[in-house]
């Protein structure tokens, strides 16, 4: 099977072609990602209107490039998969309309994909993971633990009740005058810092379950920063490194502590997998690897380009759904909100 995937739910316009021949591991024939960072930079965050316009302008080009790089034509495809949500509605619509256009013109089947399912099924694409496994999705917009038992069988074990951790890294960077995206900057600064100098909270750790909270951490950091400024008129490079290290240690403790709870809540799982930009953080990655190792589980972290937003994961999730018989019609809707453990819409013959 050869599937074209489209992704446009946030600030990356992407198209990719994934193929799986019977009995062989899947292959990513191409994966094109056009970021919009420069467009949103002057505003300090993603502007939905600008994002939607840029997706609509660039998605055709991404499709052309992905097909050319894969060396396939529309006639070689078996289906077109597209992110149908959750995400910024204007962007999701741009992708869905483009996919519908291709399907209407060629007669190819259309398969709508939940963006989160794309992230959650990526370890099967990259590492051939078998169900069931545990997944921590930690990005700029999401944070949740999922038990993944089938292509359409997800159980949410818990997640953030406020900010996503990537968002917290970005806000921390902003508060400390570091550039965006903040994650890599904070990680770099933290390497020279003392995580023990500031005692930041580990919210909800005393409560059962896998829910997390990161917004209080940001407030604690702001207070610590302002106390330093009040005391000596500003913060030094060392202060900044220590603040970053203490912040990162707190996020890391919460993610690892709750990962241990998730492992305990899903006894059949064979592996702990991660996705999302925050999984790029080496300190966090190492802590999660430790949790998996302690529980005798395999630890799987797909290559970074497949952990962050991309269309290969959408093509792959579409391929997996298509193989089970899923088809969507021209009435496929773009959904701004779409919890993963909710029944998929317009699903025909896929049987859960």
Binding partner of residue 90 among Fe ion, ligand ATP, none, CB under 5 to 8 Å per kind? none
Q: Is 5 among the residues that bind ligand ATP (CB under 6 A)? A: no
Per CB under 6 A, the list member of 5, 26, 123, 141 interacting with ligand ATP is 141
What is the spatial distance between Cα 124 and Cα 282, in angstroms, rounded to a whole number?
A: 22
Q: Of 336, 178, 314, 299, give the one whose Cα is nearest residue 248.
A: 178
What is the spatial distance between Cα 115 and Cα 314, in angstroms, rounded to a whole number?
A: 7
As a three-state string, the secondary structure of 6-72 is EECCCCEEEEEEEECCCCCCCEEEEEEEEECHHHHHHHCCCCHHHHHHHHHHHHHHHHHHHHHHHCC
221 marked as part of a ligand binding site: no
The site string for ligand ATP over 63-102 (x = CB under 6 A, - otherwise) reads: ----------------------------------------
What is the spatial distance between Cα 296 and Cα 271, in angstroms, rounded to a whole number?
A: 9
Q: Is 302 among the residues that bind ligand ATP (CB under 6 A)? A: no
Minimal distance, residue 326 CB to ligand ATP, in Å: 22
DSSP state of 164: -
Q: Is 170 among the residues that bind ligand ATP (CB under 6 A)? A: yes
Q: Is 195 among the residues that bind ligand ATP (CB under 6 A)? A: no
Identify which of residues 302 and 318 has a Cβ nearer to ligand ATP in the complex: 302
The kind and range of the H/E element at 149 are strand 143-150
- The burial of 50, by beta-carbon neighbours within 10 Å (0-12 exposed, 13-18 middle, 19 or more buried), is given as middle
Q: Is 193 among the residues that bind ligand ATP (CB under 6 A)? A: no
**Angle 199-200-203 (CA atoms, 0-180°, nearest 5)?**
135
Stretch touching ligand ATP by CB under 6 A, among 61-69, 198-206, 273-281, 291-299: 273-281
Q: Is 278 among the residues that bind ligand ATP (CB under 6 A)? A: yes
SS3 state of residue 197: coil
Per CB under 5 A, the list member of 152, 187, 211, 309 interacting with Fe ion is 309
Minimal distance, residue 284 CB to ligand ATP, in Å: 7
Minimal distance, residue 211 CB to ligand ATP, in Å: 18
Neighbours of 56 (CB within 10 A): 18
Q: Of 272, 282, 271, give the one whose Cα is nearest residue 304.
A: 282
194 marked as part of a ligand binding site: no
Residue with tokens 């990962």: 259
Minimal distance, residue 282 CB to ligand ATP, in Å: 7
Identify which of residues 198 and 338 has a Cβ nearer to Fe ion in the complex: 338
Q: Is 309 among the residues that bind ligand ATP (CB under 6 A)? A: yes
116 marked as part of a ligand binding site: no
Q: Is the dihedral of CA 82, 53, 142, 304 positive or negative?
A: positive
138 marked as part of a ligand binding site: yes
Identify which of residues 21 and 188 has a Cβ nearer to ligand ATP in the complex: 188
Q: Is 308 among the residues that bind ligand ATP (CB under 6 A)? A: yes
Binding region for substrate: 137-141, 170, 183, 187, 281
Binding region for ligand ATP (CB under 6 A)? 10, 139-142, 166-167, 169-170, 181-184, 187, 276-278, 280-281, 308-309
Binding region for Fe cation: 115, 119, 309
């Amino acid at each position: 099977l050869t599937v074209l995937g489209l992704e446009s739910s946030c600030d990356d316009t992407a198209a990719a072609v994934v193929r799986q021949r019977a009995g062989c591991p899947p292959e990513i024939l191409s994966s094109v990602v056009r970021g919009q960072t420069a467009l949103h930079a002057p505003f300090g965050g993603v502007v939905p209107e600008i994002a939607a316009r840029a997706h609509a302008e660039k998605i055709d080009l991404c499709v052309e490039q992905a097909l050319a790089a894969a060396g396939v034509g529309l006639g070689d495809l078996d289906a077109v998969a597209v992110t149908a949500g959750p995400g910024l509605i204007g962007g999701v619509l741009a992708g869905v309309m483009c996919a519908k256009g291709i399907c209407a013109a060629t007669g190819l089947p259309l398969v709508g994909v939940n963006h989160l399912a794309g992230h959650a099924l990526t370890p099967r694409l990259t590492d051939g993971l078998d169900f069931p496994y545990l997944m921590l999705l930690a990005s700029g917009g999401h944070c949740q633990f999922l038990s993944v038992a089938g292509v359409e069988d997800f159980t949410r074990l818990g997640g953030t009740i406020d900010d996503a951790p990537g968002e917290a890294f970005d806000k921390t960077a902003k508060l400390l005058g570091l550039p965006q995206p903040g994650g890599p900057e904070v990680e770099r600064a933290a390497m020279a810092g003392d995580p023990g100098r500031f005692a930041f909270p580990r919210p909800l750790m005393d409560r059962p379950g896998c829910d997390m909270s990161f917004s209080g951490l940001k407030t604690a950091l702001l207070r610590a920063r302002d106390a330093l400024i009040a005391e000596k008129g500003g913060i030094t490079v060392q202060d900044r490194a220590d603040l970053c290290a203490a912040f990162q240690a707190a996020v890391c403790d919460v993610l690892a502590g709750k990962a241990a709870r998730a492992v305990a809540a899903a006894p059949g799982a064979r592996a702990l997998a991660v996705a999302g930009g925050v999984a790029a953080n080496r300190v966090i990655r190492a802590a999660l690897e430790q949790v998996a190792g302690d529980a005798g589980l395999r630890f799987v972290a797909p290559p970074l380009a497949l952990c962050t937003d991309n269309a290969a994961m959408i093509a792959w999730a579409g391929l997996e759904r298509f193989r089970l018989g899923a088809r969507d019609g021209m009435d496929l809707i773009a959904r701004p909100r779409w919890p993963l453990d909710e029944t998929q819409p317009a699903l025909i013959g896929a049987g859960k």
